Amino acid sequence: MSHSIWTPSPSGSTASRQRCRDGFHVRRGVKALVTTSDGSVLLIRERHADGTPFWTLPGGGVQHGESATGALEREVAEELQCTCVPGAARTAFPYVHCSRHRTASVYVVYDCALLTRPRPNGAHGVTAARWASPESLPSGTLPQVRAVVSEHVA
């Protein structure tokens, strides 16, 4: 598996990283890159700790003793109330969470196919889901996700 790690630009998440540079821990995470035959990508809307909405790929943290693909199946089921089949790992990116827990995650992005229709699960923090073309990602899409979509979605 080859990883191309996204590095934040000066206009990217540097401010968040500086605010959280001391006292954070790193966790493993997974994200699903779900695409359609016309090249649209599935995004979910969540909220930062301050309540600001953002768009990202479905996924989350890998729990102790859990495989990466098992975590991806669980996260997609929790966030989108649907089942999926993880494919190959495509890339990875870091993300610094500025919350009371000060966590930095390294998310491995997997190709993923959905077996059932996605339905956002507000109980798990997902306020919306949408299909977007790589050329017209919604405002508020994380820079790391924009980079993944630009590089890996035709």
Reported as a single tens digit per residue, the pLDDT across 41-79 is: 999 999 988 899 999 999 999 999 999 999 999 999 999
pLDDT at 18 exceeding the cut of 50 = no
Q: Is residue 144 left, alpha or beta, with left meaning phi > 0 and alpha meaning psi from -120 to 50?
A: alpha
Q: Is residue 2 part of a domain?
A: no
Give the integer Cα–Cα distance in Å for 145 and 29. 14
Take residue 128 and report the two structure tokens written for it.
Answer: 């919306």
Tell me, what's the pLDDT at 146?
97
Q: Is residue 5 part of a domain?
A: no
Q: Is residue 48 part of a domain?
A: yes
Q: Is residue 72 part of a domain?
A: yes
Tell me, what's the pLDDT at 16?
35
Strand-strand pairing, 103-114 and 25-33? parallel
Give the integer Cα–Cα distance in Å for 41 and 131. 5
Number of domains in the chain: 1
| Beta-ladder partners of 130 | 43
pLDDT band at 82 (very low <50, low <70, confident <90, very high): very high
| Beta-ladder partners of 46 | 54
Q: What is the pLDDT of residues 94-138, one digit of tens each?
A: 988 766 566 788 999 999 999 999 999 999 999 999 999 999 999
Direct distance between the N- and C-terminal alpha carbons of the chain, in angstroms, rounded to an integer: 20
Q: Is residue 1 part of a domain?
A: no
Tell me, what's the pLDDT at 90?
96
Tell me, what's the pLDDT at 104?
84
Q: Is residue 3 part of a domain?
A: no
Cβ of 132: how many Cβ atoms within 10 Å? 17
In which domain, by residue range, is 31 found? Answer: 14-152
Take residue 48 and report the two structure tokens written for it.
Answer: 């930062």
Q: Is residue 63 part of a domain?
A: yes
Q: Is residue 36 part of a domain?
A: yes
Give the CATH number, domain containing residue 123.
Answer: 3.90.79.10
Length of the chain equals: 154
